[in-house]
Amino acid sequence: MSEQSQDFNWEEFENSQSAFGDGYTAAEKEEMLKMYEGTLNQLNEQEVVKAIVVSITDRDVVLNIGFKSDGLVPSNEFRDTPDLKVGDEVEVFVEQQEDNHGQLVLSRRKAKIVRAWENIQSALDNDEVIEGVIKRRTKGGLITDIFGIEAFLPGSQIDVKPIRDFDVFVGKKMELKVVKINHANDNVVVSHKILIEKDLEEQKQRILNNLERGQILEGVIKNMTNFGVFIDLGGVDGLLHITDISWGRISHPEEVLQLDQKVNVVVLDFDDDKKRISLGMKQLTSHPWDSLGEDVEVGAKVKGKIVNVADYGAFLEIMPGVEGLIHVSEMSWSQHLRNPQDFIKVGDEIEAVVLTIDREERKMSLGIKQLTEDPWTKQDLLDKYAVSTKHTGVVRNLTNFGLFLELEEGIDGLVHVSDLSWTKKIKHPSEFIKQGEKLEVIVLEINPEERRLALGHKQLEENPWEHFETVFTPDSEHKGTIISKSDKGAVIELPYGIEGFAMAKNLKKEDGSTPETGESLDFKVLEFSKDDKRILLSHLHTYAEVAAPVKKAAPKKGGKAQAGSNEEATTSLGDLDALANLKQQLKDKK
């Protein structure tokens, strides 16, 4: 401290000074206070005000808002304005006029938030278009920055067409509209689609007003189904059916088209309201039939690929858009090919012969069997299948009257049900053999002109009835087994595998009971007919006496008897039960 300051009398100085305002009248004091207060701004807390940058340090920015004191704001709140300098005007948020230390508390970050929400609300109220930056992808959509606030952009609101990859939008700017604000959760929902729809609506009206059949338009494939694709024509959707994509046959549009692909299409048709528009693509090129070579004519051989197989045949594509039908009857000389899928499959590449062709109707019938010789026209046919020659074939079909046997492809013969067995009475061929099994036969008759071949199986052996005539003589007894029963009687299996028939009244056993199927009994031959192949039997006659003599039945007039005739009793025998009762009455009278 200097010598002069040590000699300064502070007490005397303070006593000599007048108090603040001394020397002023009360009116002058009031006037001076009003003037001072006029230099200060009216300040309310929790509002945004403008401030002037007074000074900038590494830690703080000093701001003057026209209040009695300046405020401090951390420098990191000005990172977005690296060029900030003294004298610049900025907006700040007044948190407190005075804190515990008497300091004015300001915040630029909160000012930006408040101003951002005001801008967002204004954009919603005034239907304004704003710009946002896509920050990141989230579940169901994107997060975008608008005015420093994060907003949600749903995936369905990005574009009018479905978006499959959201990541391509991250980091890009996008024009948006605010569609919803939830102040309770501070959530904002925006949309880009709504801007596109507005433009598309105008474009749509222009397209619809000028739409006409035959018009060629450019579109983008927006959706794909198994029956066709939906094409965006610029706000208007049209359907390109699968049959109008290509002249060739395709099973799914994805074979030739892909999503988001730009294509040219022609307007085929539309309804009165123009809400359903049918489009075509193949119509932009000429029909393949128009370029079909003149060498494709009846008798010509063509190659192609099977594109479809139906119950009635298959379609052979000889070039895209040009197909011919191969009917099932033209696939093989065999008469028993019933399912084309057993013979041919989709994708098979084969050769065929043109049978008929109509270029105006664009129809063609083809044949495969014509590539080989008709087996019925072969020169050695009569020698190969001469009467009495033996062969082995495969059973292809069973009917009530017999079975068809395939000896080779295209050569079938009929084995009548009566020519299957000498001894068994077969009502249906399925009782004797199954479809697909092999059977040895002998040729009975051949007629190449009518493509008919009669075959027999039992003729492979001699007729055993010549021998049976000496074994099953009338009145002889044999052991037999009941193999089936009916109301009329029962079929009896005799030795050598031969069958006979016993009427119901002749089945009664000595104890009065009726035998069951499978039971073995003694039977007496009442009648034997070699020509009719019929043996009439009786178990009753093995233990009961009868008055009438047993007779040998004569052959029926009219030739060969039909199967099942054993079930009828001969009238020459009469009612055997009645005769036995009559004889017993005569004995009782004696």
Q: According to the model, what pLDDT value does residue 19 have?
A: 47
**Bridge-based pairing state of the strands 216-225 and 262-270:** antiparallel
Report pLDDT for 62. Answer: 81
> Average pLDDT for residues 129-155, to the nearest whole number?
88
| Fold held by 288-371 | OB fold (Dihydrolipoamide Acetyltransferase, E2P) (2.40.50)
pLDDT band per the 50, 70, 90 thresholds, residue 469: confident
CB 244 within 8 A of CB 280: yes
Q: In this predicted structure, what is the pLDDT of residue 465? A: 77
Q: Is pLDDT larger for residue 258 or for residue 30?
A: 258
Helix and strand element counts for the chain (H, E)? 8, 30
Question: Using one digit for the tens of pLDDT, what is the confidence trace for 501-530?
Answer: 999 999 988 888 999 999 999 999 999 888
Beta bridge partners of 142: 137, 153
**Site of tokens 């925006």:** 190
User: Please, where are the H alpha helices in 427-559?
Assistant: 465-471
Mean predicted confidence (pLDDT) in 9-32: 55
Q: What is the pLDDT averaged over residues 14-39? A: 54
| Cα–Cα distance measured from residue 499 to residue 257, given in angstroms and rounded to the nearest whole number | 73
Q: Which pTM was predicted?
A: 0.45
DSSP-based three-state secondary structure for 510: coil
Q: What angle do CA 508, 514, 518 make, to 5 degrees?
A: 115
Residue entry with tokens 């099994």: 437
Whether the per-residue pLDDT at 569 is higher than 50: the answer is no
pLDDT digits (tens, 9 = 90+) for 56-111: 888 888 877 777 677 778 877 777 777 878 888 887 778 766 666 667 778 777 77
At 40, which amino acid appears? L
* Mean pLDDT (whole number) for 492-505: 89
Q: Which CATH architecture has domain 465-582?
A: Beta Barrel (2.40)
pLDDT band for 316, please (50, 70, 90 cuts).
very high
Cα–Cα dist 85/65, whole Å: 16
DSSP run (H or E) holding 28: helix 26-38
pLDDT band at 565 (very low <50, low <70, confident <90, very high): very low
Percent of the chain with pLDDT over 90: 24
How many CA atoms lie within 13 Å of 51's alpha carbon, on the beta-carbon side? Answer: 31
Three-state DSSP class for residue 492: strand
**pLDDT > 70 in the chain, percent:** 82
Residue listed under structure tokens 């494939």: 221
- Over residues 278-303, the pLDDT tens digits come to 999 988 888 888 888 888 899 999 99
- Pair of tokens at residue 234: 């610029």
What integer pLDDT is reported at residue 568 of this predicted model? 39
Q: How far is CA 244 from CA 63, 250, 284, in A?
A: 73, 10, 10
Q: Which of 537, 541, 543 is nearest to 567 (CA)?
A: 537
Identify the top-confidence range among 90-104, 226-240, 325-339: 226-240
Same fold, 288-371 and 465-582: yes
DSSP letter (8 states) at residue 583: H
With cut-offs at 50, 70 and 90, classify the pLDDT of residue 567.
very low
Q: Is the pLDDT of residue 17 over 60?
A: no
pLDDT (0 to 100) of residue 48: 74
pLDDT band at 324, cuts 50/70/90? Answer: very high
Among 580, 425, 426, 427, residue whose Cα is nearest residue 506? 580
395, β-bridge pairs = 405
Q: If pLDDT is split at 50, 70 and 90, which confidence band does 208 have?
A: confident
Which amino acid, 11? E
Model confidence at 27: pLDDT above 80? no
Range 438-454 average pLDDT: 90
* 474 bridge partner residues: none
* CATH number of 375-460, picked from 2.40.50.140, 3.30.70.20, 3.30.56.10, 3.40.630.10: 2.40.50.140
Residue 5 has pLDDT above 50, yes or no: no
Say if residue 256's pLDDT is above 50: yes
Closest alpha carbon to 516 in 474, 544, 484: 484
In this model, does residue 500 exceed pLDDT 60?
yes
Phi, psi of 120 (to 5 degrees): -65, -45
Domain 211-284 has CATH 2.40.50.140: yes
Of 160-164, 355-359, 487-491, 559-563, the one with minimum mean pLDDT is 559-563
555 has pLDDT over 70: no
**Nearest residue to 479 via CA among 540, 524, 441:** 524
CB-based contacts of 283: which residues, under 8 Å, 6+ apart? 244, 266, 268
pLDDT of residue 40: 46
Q: What is the mean pLDDT of the chain?
A: 80
The CATH homologous superfamily for domain 16-127 is: Nucleic acid-binding proteins (2.40.50.140)
Instruction: Give pLDDT, residue 253.
Output: 92
What pLDDT shows up at residue 357?
A: 92
pLDDT for 560 equals 40
If one compares 574 and 102, the residue with the highest pLDDT of the two is 102
* Distance between CA atoms of residues 367 and 459, nearest Å: 38
Output 479 or 79, whichever has higher pLDDT. 479
Q: Which 3 state secondary structure label does DSSP give 63?
A: strand
> What is the reported pLDDT for 225?
92
Whether the per-residue pLDDT at 346 is higher than 70: the answer is yes
Contact between 305 and 347 under an 8 Å Cβ cutoff? The reply is: yes
More confident of the two residues 210 and 510 = 510
Domain boundaries, the chain: 16-127, 211-284, 288-371, 375-460, 465-582
